[in-house]
Amino acid sequence: MESEANTTSSRWAEAVFSHVDLGDTRRAARLVQMAAAACERPSGKVAAVFTSDRQREGAYDFLENPDVPTEAIVEGLAKATVERCVDQPFVVVPVDGTSVTVVDWTGERDFGRIGSDHMGGRGLKAIDAIAVDAQGTPIGLLALSWWARSAERSPARDTFARRARPLEQKETRYWIQTVQAAARALDERRVRGWFQIDREGDGYDLLHALSDTEHQWTVRGNADRSIQLEGGDHGLLRAQLERGPVSGTYALPVVARPGRKPREARMLVRVARVVLRMRDRKTSPVARPLARLPVTVVWAREEGSAPVGEDPIDWLLYTNRPVQTFEDAQLVIWAYTQRWRVEEFHRTWKRGDCDIESTQLRSSAAVQRWATIVAAVALRIERLKRLARFQSQRPAILELSPFELRALKALKFGPEPPQHEPTIAEAVLWLAELGGYANKYSGKPPGATVLGRALKYLRPAARMLQIQQVYGK
């Protein structure tokens, strides 16, 4: 009976947090209990997650404990993630930065500046790396770096004073730290990673840090770059690409969003092997040492289909992955689009079902610990969403516990539920309908918001079924 009781959110929490080493079995047990509660009732507010005074007091004590390093929680989550990656041919590793805004009206707490200076936002900065499988489904967290910006303003943009700062004074160091941590976690089990970074990664230090790993990477170019030509001369990258042949074309469905109309974009793809000429901008503007970085460039650009007044889609991608055919180039483009998985995770984590920005914790360290725990819950929600769309025939029992499935059937169908075991697509559709999803009106697949709403109905019902089985009806 006890083993069946452990198949709800506690089973998930045990599997995901079992590798965390806090140097004390009591702390480890508390962490698993807190993660299970957050899975059942995700919220940025600790008081909304724990139902008794004893649980809340224990949670606050844990989060304010200086002997609980956030880094240890992140490392444990990374180990659990890599364990689930060992059978994958490769994992895509999107890396991105975000901000967690908190309420700090006085500015006296140990948070930092967020956003533009005139808005006066307060909170923490974070850069994270997640693992995504070859079907585009999130697996888990690989790395997470936190910091609070100082009150000191940085030098103005595009000035030598700003560029001349050593790496230790730049936020770029957190990008490098995150990439290196994710690479180490993957190396422990010899899992092949393919890092994906947007235009923030197009810089001297980060490109070289990526090149120093044993993994593949793709970075979106931020601007036209100087490249080395035959004979020692140099030229501009885009001009050289435009002179080259088109490797192929493909159609890209574009969904509507503010400032963008829905359409089927006609994408032209060009591929070239080039040597980037990169100067270390931290040195003198007169004598900057030149670094040469060989890369493959995959340029996907919309031509002939962009509506009047809209910029065409334009992805200039640098990669160290070999590209021999048009199909290889398409795989590079596909992998880059999986970077959006980390943006979707951020929405669910920060303002969606998990709503970490509603936290009322009063210290930077406590917010970091709690937000890291809740990040794992947000990734579970994102995983369910993607599985339902792209691995629809996967049995739901592999992702939801027996208690959750029994509760789901009861809530959805009442006293006469279907007897068959649902697929993940069926279970997620039932969940979404509990959350108010109207498929016949929207025509879109269920998103994280509606699934999060439904899980808040489901988890207490599953918990009640568990209690009934353990203690008798």
Q: Are residues 149 and 227 in the same domain?
A: yes
For 240-259, the pLDDT digits (tens) are: 999 999 999 999 999 888 88
Residue 22 included in any domain:
no
186 with 79: CB under 8 angstroms? no
In a domain, 276, yes or no: yes
Q: Which domain holds residue 85?
A: 71-246+270-296+311-349
196/340 same-domain check: yes
CA separation for the pair 334, 136 (Å, rounded)? 9
Residue 304 forms part of a structural domain = no
Instruction: Find where tokens 């009206």 sit.
Output: 105
**Average pLDDT for residues 204-227, to the nearest whole number?**
94
Task: Give the whole-angstrom CA distance, residue 286 versus residue 164.
Answer: 13
> Do the domain assignments include residue 232?
yes
Candidate from 199-203, 327-331, 370-374 with smallest mean pLDDT = 199-203
pLDDT at 440 over 60: no
Same domain for 207 and 337, yes or no, is yes
- One domain, residues 141 and 281: yes
**Does residue 49 belong to any structural domain of this protein?**
no
Shared domain check, 330 and 445: no
Over residues 384-438, the pLDDT tens digits come to 888 887 778 889 888 888 888 999 999 989 888 888 989 988 998 898 888 888 7
pLDDT of 189 above 90: yes
Q: Domain holding 284: CATH number? A: 3.90.350.10
* Among 106-115, 172-181, 216-225, 365-374, the least confident range: 106-115
Query: 337 and 464, same structural domain?
Result: no
pTM of the predicted structure, to 2 decimals:
0.86
33 versus 352: which is more confidently predicted? 33
Same domain, residue pair 78 and 227: yes
Whether residue 144 sits in one domain with residue 79: yes
Note whether 315 and 457 are same-domain residues.
Answer: no
- Residue 107 sits in the same domain as residue 165: yes
Chain mean pLDDT for the chain:
88
For the segment 53-70, the average pLDDT, to the nearest whole number, is: 96
Checking if the pLDDT of 218 tops 90, the result is yes
pLDDT, tens digit, 9 for 90 and up, residues 72-114: 999 999 999 999 999 999 999 999 999 999 988 777 788 988 8
Tell me, yes or no, whether 77 and 166 share the same domain: yes
Domain count, the chain: 2
154 pLDDT band, cuts 50/70/90, is: low
Q: Is residue 329 domain-shared with residue 202, that is, in the same domain?
A: yes
Tell whether 228 is covered by a domain.
Answer: yes
Please classify residue 371 by burial: count the beta carbons closer than 10 Å to its beta carbon, then call 0-12 exposed, 13-18 middle and 19+ buried: buried
Decide if 329 is inside a domain. yes
Residue 198 lies in a domain: yes
CA distance 280 to 441: 54
At 267-325, the pLDDT tens digits run: 999 999 999 988 766 555 554 566 889 999 999 999 999 999 899 999 999 999 999 99
179 Cβ contact list (under 8 Å, min separation 6): 95, 129, 143, 195, 206, 209, 210, 213
Distances (CA, A) of 303 to 104, 203, 300, 323, 326: 48, 28, 10, 22, 18
